[in-house]
Amino acid sequence: MRYALLIYGNLDEIGRLSEDEARQLNAGFAEIDALPDVSGNLRLRMPDQAITFRFQQGNPLTTDGPFVESKEFLGGIIFVDSADLEGARAVAAEIQKRRLATGIEIRPVNEDALQRA
């Protein structure tokens, strides 16, 4: 089974990191990437570099960034291939031990092919 670990961080905490602390954070994620059940990852840029696309009254609308009333943001996704949820939880625990995230959402990946009409 494949699981996606959605890694959340805190904007205030990230903004206060020194260069050395940022290097340590990256090194911690490199250690996570080397774990046997980890099959890949996607690192996302900061929310201020994002745009949000919606339809408003039937018209496309693009705005800068996500406007969520939270300081927590989605920073990346780590993929875990494991026989069960416990394997994904073990990787999440390693991330938390290293204090690399404020929260981790574990979600099974739907690998079923899209059905076309």
Query: Would you say residue 116 lies in a domain?
Result: no
Whether 38 is in a domain gets the answer yes
- Per the domain annotation, does 113 fall within a domain? no
What integer pLDDT is reported at residue 66 of this predicted model? 65
| The pLDDT value given to residue 52 | 85
Q: Tell me: the pLDDT tens digits for 46-84?
A: 888 888 888 888 888 888 776 656 678 899 999 999 999
According to DSSP, the residues that pair with 74 across neighbouring strands are 8
Domain hosting 43: range is 2-108
- Statement: residue 104 has pLDDT above 90: yes
> Would you give the DSSP letter of residue 112?
S
* Bridge partner list, 106: 5
Mean pLDDT of the chain: 89
Domain count for the chain, please give it.
1
CATH code of the domain covering residue 10: 3.30.70.1060
* 114 found inside a domain: no
The verdict on residue 14 lying in a domain is: yes
Structural domain contains residue 10: yes
Structure tokens at 11: 């904007």
32 token code pair: 């996570």
> Helices 19-33 and 85-97: crossing angle, nearest 10°?
160
What confidence score (pLDDT) does residue 106 get? 97
